Structure 1
Amino acid sequence: MHTPAPSNSRSHRPRRLRSSPAMRRLVAETRLHPANLVLPVFVREGIDEPRPITSMPGVMQHTLESVRPLAAEAAEAGLGGIMLFGVPAERDPLGSAAADPNGILNLAIRAVADEVGGELVVQSDLCLDEFTSHGHCGLLDDAGRVDNDATLESYARMAVAQAEAGAELLGLSGMMDGQVAVVREALDAAGHIDTAILAYAAKYASAFYGPFREAVDSQLQGDRRSYQQDPANRREGLREALLDLDEGADIVMVKPAMSYLDVLSDVARVSTVPVWAYQVSGEAAMIEAAAQNGWIDREGAIRESLVSIARAGADTVLSYFALEAAAWWR
């Protein structure tokens, strides 16, 4: 026998605010806008036309020529920025091409700044891993370990070169201790006091970077667990972010996003500067693979994943889906 609900139960009906698409849109707690999205882009030296990345459907390695219209498209879509990664034709143990004004990344920065400067924030990855023959994010000592302080000197040179090429925001992704302070000092000494620093503050040694390594033709030997964070550690992520804030980071980021929403939430609660997150290559590849197999709704999964990152506290999200997502939220 059906028991009638108590008469006062009708005063608590959360479903009233889910009754239609218009109602759900009206009361949504988390909103994304194209300006909250940044598009990561790879520019490769020595290719004549854009080259598809097998493990990242829809993502290409671009030429200096093809990156220009892509940047213009990103600006037209209203994205917040474009993050540039360089893939050099030649590498050496010191990553010498990283600070070369005529290296592929610095040339790409110039090309994009010339194309969309003032319309889109031109951002650049500041790390040695794409440029070293061993694939590590820093210089190696005689024992084959990453030398933190020697690496900082290279980062300082890279920072000045990227700022001079036209980058407005430098993405410090190498996870070397003290990198924000050293780069800030180098930029200021060179007169680039307005060049901003995005600190990859909590960057974990993740299995979800796999497709990215194809994208940059990584030469990695071994792993990066001695300097990227242990996935088991939550408090350490907050500690890293606080250290970067103390050193003068203008923005702090958590990477990857999906498996570290707790860390992202922790950082967002205490940060006095914008907090970003990176939806990394493996996260995007999983969505693409499952969608291609008919297991999930692609657009729905992309939307939900991006909203979840923003809901956890990210003010801006780096995502390979940025361009098409911008069209949905525009």
Structure 2
Amino acid sequence: MSSRSRGPALFWRVAIGNAAVLAAACVITALIFAPATDDVAVRELAIFAGGLVVMLAFNLLLLRRALGPLRELTAFARRIDPLEPGRRLQVAGGDSEATELADAFNEMLDRLEAERRESVARALAAQEGERLRVAQELHDGVGQSLTGVVLQLGRVARDVDDTARPAVVEAQETARESLEEVRRIARRLRPEALDDLGLASALLVLGERVAEHSELSVDVQVQPGLAFNPDEELVLYRVAQEALTNVARHSGARHAEVKLHLQGGRPLLEVGDDGSGLPPNAHDGSGIRGMRERAVLVGGALKLSASPLGGARITLELPEP
């Protein structure tokens, strides 16, 4: 987006104004106090002109130093991304007004990021609560009903004659497939393995299920001994889940890798594939934005890059434990 047209920068407006005032003062002084001899007036004008140049140079130096931080602040404000927190403005200058302005701006960013984390946490907590409720209703309500239908059809298949039995058995298989689909949706909404077995096992189960329901082979590698709090575990799992879903649906890949390990003391989740790579509008997709918002919740950073496998790679870096 192009910025609207503006006049000269504040630096040049102040500098030109000061130069005009100084020049006018020098010329008026030379003309008023000049003696009758023309040579003396010329000499004094030369002295005033030299002084004017020195004063302007000194003025420009002071203005550039005083107003430089404003340009830095403007450029920094334009680069800020709410989904990439932690960046702060650093201005040299001791106890100057520019330093105070930078400190005030950084404090404002601290407050905004804290409020955003809280709002994202509330939204995601509500989302996970709704996921859990729907998963329980599917399991306990629809799932139990379908289980009853499968059992009833089994009893009917034993009592009917041979001509009707194939149709009843087919209906029973359809009900059983629907039951498995309901259970799969419920597991996707709220992963039981994450609650019961921990993150490492949940990622392994996730890779197996994605491979089972697609033509994708998934290799999951989790470094032993890693420990996370419940929020971090849920974020890591959801990011891996969304990333693998995108790979299976859109990339045309045949193989994907999920790696969770330490790098430089920071936990790193990497999901790469050998597919078609990143589309031009990858950063604007709702799936990527959702993953970035989850990363903000735990103070992490999400990055998209090319994968060594030849396709795309999504990297989630968490703060040091």
Fold-level similarity (TM above 0.5)? no
Q: So what's the TM-score if we normalise by structure 2? A: 0.27
Greater percentage in strand? 1
Q: So what's the TM-score if we normalise by structure 1? A: 0.26
Q: Which has the larger radius of gyration?
A: 2
